[in-house]
């Protein structure tokens, strides 16, 4: 799998401080979004599964309906000009991104939930293989979202079906100041109650149950929050993983 993942390293240095950020061309703000179009699956980078650092990742058979909330990071000069997982050359000034499980290539809309800014990028690489990270954006895509200085941002990643004008012309969503971490969903309320009791005993006082009467579904959802930013989410996700809940994910209210 080394060749498949050579363009997207398993670990990356943290984003530079604002005083040493790489150069941006003067016209970077006018860099156009990637244009979604029908492309065949890449001959490289699409195995059924692959392993990195002892963890197995399963590549989705289709991007249809993919809509996730998580943390975006970015990658720049260290990887510029190197091969991505699907065999392209990484260009940090192009509108591209890396994701662990989406088929290559896939076009996605990435919306910063803190400021409502939105970009469309082509996913052609694998990663980021860092805990609690959903997508790695190219340098210019991160700049257009306004997240270079912080290095990370809470985002929504939604796959685009080429030819869907509604998605392509949709305006950026309003900022979502509050997000929650969903620990699990249970058909039996007593199971959800036991999880909440365990979390609260561990000092996670903001754990609660969202009942089916509120969601209109059938499951009792255990959530924690709200969380206000990436540092708070990272700390909470690490605490939950230590308690045996590594699959906790960000969700909207």
The CATH code of the domain that includes 131 is 2.40.40.10
Cα 205 to Cα 27, 71, 160, 226, distances in angstroms: 48, 23, 38, 11
Answer whether residue 9 is part of any domain. no
Residue 133 structural domain: 18-169
Identify the band that residue 1 occupies on the pLDDT scale cut at 50, 70 and 90: very low
225's tokens: 């929050």
Structure confidence at residue 247 (pLDDT): 87
Q: Is a pLDDT exceeding 90 seen at residue 233?
A: yes
Are 139 and 231 found together in one domain?
no
If one counts every other C-beta atom within 10 angstroms of the C-beta of residue 251, the result is 15
Are 91 and 215 found together in one domain?
no
Q: What is the mean pLDDT of residues 117-128?
A: 96
Q: State the Cα–Cα distance between residues 233 and 71, nearest whole angstrom.
A: 9
Are 116 and 26 found together in one domain?
yes
Answer whether residue 13 is part of any domain. no
Residue at which a domain ends, from 169, 189, 207: 169
Cα 48 to Cα 7, 134, 178, distances in angstroms: 19, 19, 35
Answer whether residue 43 is part of any domain. yes
Q: 74-107 pLDDT, tens per residue?
A: 999 999 999 999 999 999 999 999 999 999 999 9
Structure confidence at residue 215 (pLDDT): 81
Radius of gyration (C-alpha) of the chain in whole angstroms: 19
160's tokens: 């685009």
Residue at which a domain ends, from 150, 169, 188: 169
Q: 12-66 pLDDT, tens per residue?
A: 444 544 457 888 989 999 999 999 999 999 999 999 999 999 999 999 999 999 9
Are 66 and 134 found together in one domain?
yes
**Nearby residues of 44 by Cβ (< 8 Å), 6 or more positions away:** 3, 4, 85, 86, 87, 104
Q: Is a pLDDT exceeding 50 seen at residue 206?
A: yes
Q: State the Cα–Cα distance between residues 130 and 81, nearest whole angstrom.
A: 22
Residue at which a domain ends, from 142, 169, 196: 169
What are the two backbone dihedrals, phi and then psi, of residue 186, each rounded to the nearest 5 degrees? -135, 140
**Nearby residues of 40 by Cβ (< 8 Å), 6 or more positions away:** none
Identify the band that residue 163 occupies on the pLDDT scale cut at 50, 70 and 90: confident
Residue ranges of alpha helices (H) inside the chain are: 139-145, 165-169, 189-201, 212-215, 230-242
**CB–CB of 154/81 below 8 Å?**
no
Q: Is a pLDDT exceeding 80 seen at residue 171?
A: no
List beta partners, residue 107: 122
Are 55 and 94 found together in one domain?
yes
Are 193 and 160 found together in one domain?
no
Are 116 and 200 found together in one domain?
no
Domains held by the chain: number: 2
Identify the band that residue 10 occupies on the pLDDT scale cut at 50, 70 and 90: very low
Q: State the Cα–Cα distance between residues 168 and 120, nearest whole angstrom.
A: 9
Tell me the whole-structure pTM to 2 decimals.
0.87
Q: Is a pLDDT exceeding 80 seen at residue 6?
A: no
Are 133 and 199 found together in one domain?
no
Structure confidence at residue 252 (pLDDT): 87
Write the Ramachandran bin of 87: left for phi over 0, alpha for psi from -120 to 50, otherwise beta. left
Are 142 and 206 found together in one domain?
no
């Amino acid at each position: 799998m080394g060749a498949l993942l050579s363009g997207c390293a398993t670990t990356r240095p943290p984003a530079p401080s604002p005083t040493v950020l790489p150069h941006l061309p003067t016209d970077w703000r006018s860099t156009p979004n990637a244009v979604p179009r029908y492309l065949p699956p890449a001959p490289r980078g699409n195995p059924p599964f692959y392993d990195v650092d002892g963890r197995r990742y399963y590549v989705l058979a289709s991007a249809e309906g993919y809509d996730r909330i998580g943390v975006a990071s970015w990658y720049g000069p260290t990887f510029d000009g190197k091969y991505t997982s699907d065999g392209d050359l990484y260009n940090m000034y192009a509108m591209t991104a890396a994701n662990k499980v989406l088929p290559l290539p896939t076009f996605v809309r990435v919306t910063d939930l803190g400021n409502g800014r939105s970009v469309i990028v082509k996913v052609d690489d694998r990663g980021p293989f860092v805990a609690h990270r959903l997508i790695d954006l190219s340098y210019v895509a991160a700049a257009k979202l306004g997240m270079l200085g912080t290095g990370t941002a809470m985002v929504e990643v939604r796959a685009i079906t080429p030819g869907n004008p509604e998605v392509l012309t949709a305006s950026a969503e309003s900022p979502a100041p509050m997000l929650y971490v969903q620990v699990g969903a249970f058909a039996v309320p007593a199971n959800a109650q036991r999880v909440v009791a365990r979390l609260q005993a561990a000092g996670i006082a903001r754990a609660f149950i969202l009942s089916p009467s509120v969601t209109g579904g059938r499951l009792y959802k255990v959530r924690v929050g709200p969380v206000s930013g990436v540092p708070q989410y990272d700390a909470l996700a690490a605490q939950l993983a230590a308690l045996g809940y590594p699959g906790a994910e960000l969700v909207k209210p």
